[in-house]
Structure 1
Amino acid sequence: MKFTIYQESRVGKRRNNQDRLAHCYSREALLMVVADGMGGHLHGEVAAQIAVQYLTEAFQREAKPRLSDPFMFLAGGLQNAHQAVQDYALAKRLPEAESPRTTCVACIVQDSIAYWAHAGDSRLYALRDGRILTRTRDHSTVQSMIDDGQLTPAEAMHHPLRNRIYSCLGGQQNPQFDFSRKTTLQSGDVIALMSDGVWGPLEDLQITSALYGRDVMQAVPALIDEAEKSGGANCDNLSLVAMSWGENYGEETLQAIETQSLPLDGHSTQMPEFDRRSAPLPELTDEDIENAIDEIRNAIQKHSK
């Protein structure tokens, strides 16, 4: 495989960053994942961390160097991550109103085919030839209203219910997962996964223009800059991972990744650590952070093979 990939996450105007993201690749497969946590006193961060960390570690276990069934991996990984978030809430004896939850969108690329699944309103965009080939449909109240003809997309951007979602990991309700079709990638295609802090204040055309035909290592920070500026004083957390597919690049770049140099059971992973820098609430002690790390590990291990 040959591709270029870059990811970035910012706090925006919020007190702390409840988004988490990661990418991981073997010789023959690539995982990208973004999660947007919900819940006070560190619980949103923990829910998002559980989702991203569970999927990443499951990928490392199973992609040696390829997955036997990418769709089954996504289905099982998302469901197990949901249960792990529930276990965390149970161990903390949290009431339903305080239960941690998180959106999640994840994508696998293998054999030049992209597979993805999501719950909530974190999105995946697939771009080709300067246009949107497809994107995920939000599990949100305003998306349902758009589908019913009650709202236009422009009206939805400022609707008071724009942040209300009906599917997520965690909580008592079983999540709804939507799965893509198999999408064969062509050289130059871009796959971008992002939290609503990125896509929310922007038009789809702005996203397409920023990402297509540019080096993703420059396009990702530029698009986040644009979303952060448009978000203004209420700017949400912003997280974006974008990959430009280049199986047949005619021009070599220093940033392009060639996975054939990896050993058969090797992986390369970019997943920020869960630490004081990622959860900078001033009222939290170092002991709170360490306890959260232990609780994340315990919740994940219970559902790991």
Structure 2
Amino acid sequence: MIVADGMGGSSGGQLASQTLVDTIARIFNEQPRPINDPEAFLGYAIMQAHEAVIRKGLKHNPPLNPGTTCVVCLLQNGHAWWAHVGDSRLYLFRYGERVFRTKDHSYVEYLLKSGEISKQEAINHPKRNQITRCVGNTIRPLEITYGSEMELLSGDVLLLCTDGLWSGMPDKQIGKMLLADTLDNALSDMASQAEQNSPSSCDNITAVAVRLLSNASPYEEAASAHKKNREDSEAEAVVATPAAQAQELDELGQAINDIQKAFREYEDELLDKPRHDIDTSANHNIPRSAKEKL
């Protein structure tokens, strides 16, 4: 599950967010499943996306300095791992109640944490859209926040969304609306409600959610919603939904594994080289980036 909210002008924002989603999806596709070290995978994938966004910006004519937020969640065997940069959020709701949400990398979140402003003051703070970290668009080292492994229970809902959604309604209302019979209806209603509650200049509204129906299949119900609220938006949000993407990537991954298996069986005849001279393994070592643990 991936949600990215680009910035840096409409073209730069779209370039950054789409590059991030494409890069992480490609890297996910290259890994055998289940992924043995989810946290290392998330860090490596976001770091590679960071570098890809910068390269794309430099190659653009004229050069751009694009950036994007991101929140990425990996689901395996009834457990979830996540990482994020910026103010796109991950929520975990249980029976309609929020049991977890990520902390934004934003100036307002900093003021809240330090006690300089109240939650009520944060809602309409003039710098509420100012983020302190992003993917791309920076010469500083990328800083990623990682979450600890979370065990999911039947009925749990994971929601990934941009600030266009969560700034338009309180968390209690989000949790209540996620109790709807289907996530498709819930997200559609939430996006419409957030749009009505927000000022005319509000940001894009993008969300993706998955409800765990059983530990054996966390992808049994998934949905996404996206609204672009203004024609001259300076951000372009991109979402990768788990239902469609997981199926597509799993099928392609299986095909790649089949090809590699055949190659290992016949490589001596095909390449006329000793078997130990050739490494065809898909289990690449994934470097860890600098991490912030909650």
TM-score higher than 0.5: yes
Contact kept in structure 2, 1:130 and 1:213, CA below 8 Å = no
Instruction: Quote the Cα distance in structure 2 between the aligned partners of 1:80 and 1:245.
Output: 29
Contact kept in structure 2, 1:157 and 1:201, CA below 8 Å = no
Contact kept in structure 2, 1:101 and 1:170, CA below 8 Å = yes
Would you say 1:90 and 2:75 are equivalent positions? no
Match of 2:118 in 1: 152
Match of 2:43 in 1: 75
Contact kept in structure 2, 1:109 and 1:115, CA below 8 Å = yes
Runs (5+) with no aligned partner, structure 2:
224-241, 254-294
Runs (5+) with no aligned partner, structure 1:
1-31, 269-305
Match of 2:7 in 1: 38
Match of 1:231 in 2: 198
Instruction: Quote the Cα distance in structure 1 between the aligned partners of 2:128 and 2:251.
Output: 42
Change (3 A) 1:226 1:61: same
The CA deviation at 1:210 is 1.2
Would you say 1:123 and 2:89 are equivalent positions? yes
Match of 2:272 in 1: none
Q: How does 1:163-182 map to 2 (within 5 A)?
A: 163-171=129-137, 172-182=139-149
The CA deviation at 1:129 is 2.2
In the alignment of these two chains, the number of paired residues is 230
Instruction: Give the one of 21, 29, 33 matched to 1:65.
Output: 33
The CA deviation at 1:265 is 4.9
Instruction: Quote the Cα distance in structure 2 between the aligned partners of 1:87 and 1:191.
Output: 32
Match of 1:202 in 2: 169
Misfit runs of 4+, over 4 Å: 253-259, 262-265
Contact kept in structure 1, 2:160 and 2:207, CA below 8 Å = yes
Instruction: Give the one of 100, 103, 109 matched to 2:66.
Output: 100
Contact kept in structure 2, 1:34 and 1:122, CA below 8 Å = yes
Q: Deviations over 1:144-169 (max 9, x none)?
A: 00001111222111101101111100
The CA deviation at 1:190 is 0.3
TM-score w.r.t. length of structure 2: 0.72
Match of 1:53 in 2: 22
Greater length-normalized contact order (CA 8 Å, ≥ 6 residues apart) = 1
Q: Deviations over 1:6-59 (max 9, x none)?
A: xxxxxxxxxxxxxxxxxxxxxxxxxx0000000125111000001111111211
Instruction: Give the one of 164, 184, 188 matched to 1:217.
Output: 184
The amino acid across from 1:56 in the alignment is A
Change (3 A) 1:175 1:258: closer
Q: Deviations over 1:107-163 (max 9, x none)?
A: 001121100000000000011122111100000000000001111222111101101
Determine what percentage of the aligned residue pairs are the same residue.
36
Contact kept in structure 2, 1:142 and 1:159, CA below 8 Å = yes
Which protein is richer in helix relative to its size?
2
SS at match of 2:208: strand
The amino acid across from 2:81 in the alignment is Y
Contact kept in structure 2, 1:65 and 1:266, CA below 8 Å = no
SS at match of 1:34: strand
Instruction: Quote the Cα distance in structure 2 between the aligned partners of 1:180 and 1:255.
Output: 22
Instruction: Quote the Cα distance in structure 2 between the aligned partners of 1:107 and 1:157.
Output: 26
SS at match of 1:44: helix
Rg larger in 1 or in 2? 2
Contact kept in structure 2, 1:193 and 1:240, CA below 8 Å = yes
